[in-house]
Copies of this chain bind each other. A is one copy, B any other.
Amino acid sequence: KVQQDRLMHDIHSTCEWGKGERWGDQSTETGMSRLSLSDTDKQARDWFAETTESLGCKVTTDAMGNQFAVRPGLNEGAMTYAGSHLDTQPTGGRYDGILGVTAGVEMLRTLNDNWVETNYPTGVINWTNEEGARFPKSMVSSGVWAGDIPIADAHALKSVIPANDTATMKSDLERIGYLGSTPCSHTAMPIAAHFELHIEQGPILEAEQRRVGIVRGVQSYKWFTITVRGKESHTGATSFAHRADALLLASKCILASHRIATRHNALASTGILNLRPGSTNTVPGFVEFSLDIRSPSNETVEKVEAECRAAFASLTSDTSSEPEAAHSHPSSLTCDISWRTDFVSPATSFHKDCISCATAAAASLVDSSVPEPDAELNLGAWGKLMTSGAGHDSVYTSKHAPTCMIFAPSRDGVSHNPREFTTPEGCADGAQVLLGAVVRYDRL
């Protein structure tokens, strides 16, 4: 059994590096702001390397800064990993990613304490820049590992936080000493199986009072940057008819995307919006905003994208105050809209063997007699087979290795927020299932 207190100590002591906004009186009641490849990310990485080495692992850093800590098994051979990430959102919490890596470390500690020798090596991975917050491509380093993202593109990614930062992934990997010499690829660093414990980041497990989720796959999503070009003009001397207001149009687009996504039972969200010139009495001539479209179905994502493209285009020639309204006040002055696709992550289905191992491990939380992995096992009222709304590095590992994920409940479904919270019991349950799944897969 994993030790809950030790796990919580690892979580909260490492959260001293990159501590974010305070939201409560307790010492652990702050968020996190540990942006990828920042100085505090380096501190967390150093801790990961030192700790896993002290637990008997050999640690390899690849050319994207991914850290692979390997604990030898009875035989040589491909390794079963627990992996997640130590970077956070700018206003993130203490669990997203962090729980998965620290639970991996707790797995190592528990194996050592119990003198467990696995058949093959097991290990823990810390993936770089999973969030895509600072370098705006989520799961970029597992994407390079999978061969889906060229390393040159990844290395060239520019930091978007803070606003005028000039760092690239490569320059900051070098700066903090984590540009490893091992190639970042699934052939150089093969994986036998990948298990990822993560917080749910949504409200379902809590609402249904389940202790753990077994994740059968991840929904489809696409990220875009949309640029609106209008015309700067004086807010006091320019009638509405003489304007090409880039912000008014962007506002209509944001509402239209929300409406279209609602219609398709999908999600569309704008998290970034920048405008120019940014003066109270100048109508903005330039707006750039992000659009994140998601659905369990690839076809639905495509449909929402296509409808948004059509709606935005028709809004450019509409000067009314309504989203998608009839062209009530056609104007000769229109804005231009252009789209750039930043990231595509198709729907993912995880591997049945991994799901079986995790399900069996989950079942043993409540019934120690459960013998062997069984994909058909009923998860009962205490667990749930579910789909992830968020992308994870497991999406990319699943392309080259059997993979599945384990979810711990998120209080109020809150994530990407300083108040993100999972109970110590929830964390320990998740870590216990992670350990059980890895050991079962190794036996398999």
Give the B-binding residues of A (Cβ under 8 A).
89-91, 131-133, 136, 138, 160-161, 163, 200-203, 219, 221, 223, 231-240, 242, 245, 247-248, 250-252, 254-256, 258-259, 261-262, 267, 269-273, 275-285, 290, 292, 294, 321-323, 342, 388-391, 413-418
Q: What residues of B have a CB within 8 angstroms of the CB of A90 in the complex?
A: 277-279, 282
A selection of 6 A-B contacts at a CB cut-off of 8 Å is A203-B238, A221-B236, A237-B390, A248-B258, A251-B254, A273-B275
Assess the B91–A236 pair: CB atoms within 8 A: no
CB distance from A240 to the nearest CB of B (A): 6
Report the 6 A-B pairs with minimum CB-CB distance, sorted nearest first.
A259-B321, A237-B389, A201-B237, A202-B237, A235-B269, A251-B251
In the bound complex, CA of A221 to CA of B136 (Å): 40
In the bound complex, CA of A232 to CA of B21 (Å): 13
Given contacts A251-B255, A321-B258, contact A232 B416 (CB under 8 A): yes
Given contacts A255-B322, A256-B321, contact A390 B240 (CB under 8 A): no
Q: What residues of B have a CB within 8 angstroms of the CB of A285 in the complex?
A: 91, 417
In the bound complex, CA of A163 to CA of B415 (Å): 28
In the bound complex, CA of A427 to CA of B247 (Å): 32
Assess the A282–B89 pair: CB atoms within 8 A: yes
B160, B233, B273, B391: the one within 8 Å of A416 (CB): B233
Copies in the complex: 2
Assess the B414–A233 pair: CB atoms within 8 A: yes
Q: What residues of B have a CB within 8 angstroms of the CB of A255 in the complex?
A: 248, 251-252, 255, 321-323
Chain A contact surface mostly: loop
In the bound complex, CA of A247 to CA of B287 (Å): 14
CB distance from A161 to the nearest CB of B (A): 7
Given contacts A233-B416, A248-B255, A255-B252, contact A279 B272 (CB under 8 A): yes
Assess the A283–B256 pair: CB atoms within 8 A: no
Assess the B390–A281 pair: CB atoms within 8 A: yes
B236, B273, B342: the one within 8 Å of A201 (CB): B236
Q: What residues of B have a CB within 8 angstroms of the CB of A245 in the complex?
A: 269
In the bound complex, CA of A355 to CA of B415 (Å): 63
Assess the B283–A269 pair: CB atoms within 8 A: yes
Q: What residues of B have a CB within 8 angstroms of the CB of A161 in the complex?
A: 278-279
Assess the A416–B321 pair: CB atoms within 8 A: no
In the bound complex, CA of A415 to CA of B233 (Å): 5
Assess the B282–A278 pair: CB atoms within 8 A: no
Q: What residues of B have a CB within 8 angstroms of the CB of A233 in the complex?
A: 413-417
Assess the A281–B131 pair: CB atoms within 8 A: yes
In the bound complex, CA of A233 to CA of B281 (Å): 32
Assess the B91–A277 pair: CB atoms within 8 A: yes
Assess the B271–A417 pair: CB atoms within 8 A: no
CB distance from A213 to the nearest CB of B (A): 11
Given A233-B415, A236-B267, 15 extra CB contacts under 8 A: A89-B282, A133-B281, A161-B279, A202-B239, A203-B239, A219-B236, A221-B236, A223-B280, A232-B416, A237-B413, A250-B251, A251-B254, A251-B255, A269-B281, A271-B281
B234, B247, B323: the one within 8 Å of A321 (CB): B323
